[in-house]
Amino acid sequence: MGEMAEESKTRISHWADQVVKDVIDRVEQDEFLKEMVDKHGYIVYDEKTPSGKIHIGAGRGWIIHDVIAKAMRDQGLNAKFILSSDDIDPFDKMNSDLDPSYEKYLGVPFRDMPSPVDGYKSFADYYFTQCTDKFEEFGIEAEFESTGEQYANGAFNETIKIALDNADKIKEIYYRLYGDTIGSKRLPFNPICEKCGKIGTTIATEWDSEREIIKYKCMEDLVPWAKGCGYEGERSPYDGGGKFPWKVEWATKWPTKKVICEYAGKDHFTKGGSRTIAIAIANEVFNFPPPYPSTKFATGKGYEFFTVGGKKMSTSKGRGIGFVDSTQYAPAKMLRYMLVRTRPHAVIDFDPYNGNDLMLLYDRFDRTERIYYGEEKCDENTYLNSRRIYELSSIGKLWERMPPQAPLSHLAVVAQISPDLDNALEMLKASGHIEAPDDEEKEYIKDRLDFAYRWVNEFAPDQYKFTLRETPTKMSISDSERKALNELVNALESDIDARSLHDKIYEIAKGNGMKPSEFFSLCYKILIDREKGPRLASFLIMIKEQAVRLLKN
Ligand SMILES: [Zn+2]
């Protein structure tokens, strides 16, 4: 760090550091916020309903929030990222993965439904844990919460009282934004029916502020997706007696959890959308400044869509891929890097099936890495930005030396010649990509080789696939071609490196009256029965003995 760290303090090159600066400026101008962060720290918050397999798009939010919290800690702030599972939301839609017996739970909170897989506390627990179990792999550091548990332990009691005492104000806000709708008429609270356990089917009909009791009805026809039991009763709204409707809940979480920053997908930030109303309720009912990127007066911008798998995946599955499956398409490390380097407001549609997307991603990552370790020169802005991207996208601690680099396309060649790690390492030594790897480096290369193998089998364009011939083939070869091949064999048998051999191949072609491209094609035909193939010089060196055998005949 040293000198550069001093400089990067005065000059902001990464979007997360800009967010941190904006938040700090805001706190400095607001006594209330100053007191809040002194007492509770900088709370970066996100939430997700575990209604089924969680889409990769939500993962973008998790990484954005993790990166912001890290950038805050880098500035010496006491910051943490809290992710809450909105597990008290009602189950409102069957999906084809579920057993039909789940239909009876429509209307019930996700946390009160059985897990579709053994070993989890509930339906909500299963789908949420599926994702959070992968957080370490993605380098996401978060504290987890259950929103249902927060209701149950009374964290929302105070805001419930305020919201219900100010129900008319909330109804007015709904009316102002949406006109005469259900929200402008109903009490802003959904109790859990004590008879049937459903939360999606109830309406609160009366709030007795003195006794702190709500009267409610469990309706048969409130929503088309679930049928209530008709029970009418009264209960305390506190300690898990129910929940706020979503938009009100969002506004109550901010003062309850002392949130200073919470992004969400851009679909929440549309004009008059859920963020707009949550801001109005936070301001007018709770007198709480809405978290960054919103202000009292403006919603700000949410983060953009993130899809993995491109059109092919989103159309075949209908709903895109889950966060938990995303690492089948690129290593977590590369996905994290992609999200850290891209501003939240830019769309990302990453398609591993699209020719070079993955190769390009690896190349960009490696370049960032070389810049970070001072192995590649660039202008100062690129330098500062690349350093920050590398620091913020790193998983675990940074290495003191630069990890070994080898392009995906090259590793794919190695993986196709030799699935055996030790042999592969020898080839990478021969091609000059590694020298004497220690165990950590071997492990690193192995991970890359594993993915390269996957890439070639599942995603790579045909031009990157080949099979090395086992035995020489009968081909008609002219005298000058024969002579050129012999010269190549001689060169290969001398102790030559890839770069010199590359020059030598051109020399040999010329010396025998051939165009270099003709000579290349001839070699590929002999070696892999194709017109084109991997970079010839380093390929020949990696398969030296086999190459000599094939070329001699
Ligand atoms: Zn009921």
Q: What is the pLDDT of residues 192-232, one digit of tens each?
A: 999 999 999 999 999 999 999 999 999 999 999 999 999 99
Q: What distance in angstroms lies between residue 101's CA and the mean position of ligand 1's atoms?
A: 19
Q: What distance in angstroms lies between residue 150's CA and the mean position of ligand 1's atoms?
A: 23
Q: Does residue 317 carry a pLDDT above 50?
A: no
- pLDDT, tens digit (0-9, with 9 covering 90-100), for 58-91: 999 999 999 999 999 999 999 999 999 999 999 9
Two structure tokens written together for 327? 């690492």
Q: Is residue 246 a contact partner of residue 274, using CB atoms and an 8 Å limit?
A: yes
Helix (H, G, I), strand (E, B) or coil at 223: strand
Q: Does residue 503 carry a pLDDT above 60?
A: yes
- pLDDT, tens digit (0-9, with 9 covering 90-100), for 127-166: 999 999 999 999 999 999 999 999 999 999 999 999 999 9
Q: According to the model, what pLDDT value does residue 432 have?
A: 87
At 1, the pLDDT band (50, 70, 90 cuts) reads: very low
- pLDDT, tens digit (0-9, with 9 covering 90-100), for 271-301: 999 999 999 999 999 999 999 999 999 999 9
Q: What distance in angstroms lies between residue 149's CA and the mean position of ligand 1's atoms?
A: 21
Q: According to the model, what pLDDT value does residue 513 have?
A: 94
Q: What distance in angstroms lies between residue 552's CA and the mean position of ligand 1's atoms?
A: 84
Q: What distance in angstroms lies between residue 219's CA and the mean position of ligand 1's atoms?
A: 7
Q: What distance in angstroms lies between residue 229's CA and the mean position of ligand 1's atoms?
A: 4
DSSP 108: S
Q: What distance in angstroms lies between residue 234's CA and the mean position of ligand 1's atoms?
A: 12
- pLDDT, tens digit (0-9, with 9 covering 90-100), for 332-375: 999 999 999 999 999 998 999 887 899 999 999 999 999 999 99
Q: According to the model, what pLDDT value does residue 475 have?
A: 87
Helix (H, G, I), strand (E, B) or coil at 308: strand
Q: According to the model, what pLDDT value does residue 488 have?
A: 97
Q: Does residue 3 carry a pLDDT above 50?
A: no
Q: What distance in angstroms lies between residue 186's CA and the mean position of ligand 1's atoms?
A: 18
How far apart CA 331 and CA 495 sit, in angstroms, is 37
Q: What distance in angstroms lies between residue 29's CA and the mean position of ligand 1's atoms?
A: 49
Q: Does residue 6 carry a pLDDT above 80?
A: no
Q: Does residue 42 carry a pLDDT above 50?
A: yes
Q: What distance in angstroms lies between residue 188's CA and the mean position of ligand 1's atoms?
A: 18
Q: Give whole-number Cα distances, 287 to 32, 150, 370, in Å.
A: 10, 21, 49
At 430, the pLDDT band (50, 70, 90 cuts) reads: confident
Q: What distance in angstroms lies between residue 281's CA and the mean position of ligand 1's atoms?
A: 29
Q: What distance in angstroms lies between residue 231's CA and the mean position of ligand 1's atoms?
A: 5
0.85 exceeded by pTM: yes
Of residues 305 and 286, the one with the higher pLDDT is 286
At 173, the pLDDT band (50, 70, 90 cuts) reads: very high
Tell me the residues surrounding ligand 1 (ion) with CB < 5 Å.
193, 195-196, 218, 228-229, 231
Q: Does residue 8 carry a pLDDT above 50?
A: no
Mean pLDDT of the chain: 93
Q: Give whole-number Cα distances, 166 to 91, 99, 458, in Å.
A: 28, 42, 57
Q: According to the model, what pLDDT value does residue 316 have?
A: 46
Q: What distance in angstroms lies between residue 109's CA and the mean position of ligand 1's atoms?
A: 13
Q: What distance in angstroms lies between residue 443's CA and the mean position of ligand 1's atoms?
A: 56
| Cβ neighbours around 187 below 10 Å, total | 22
Share of the chain above pLDDT 70, in %: 96
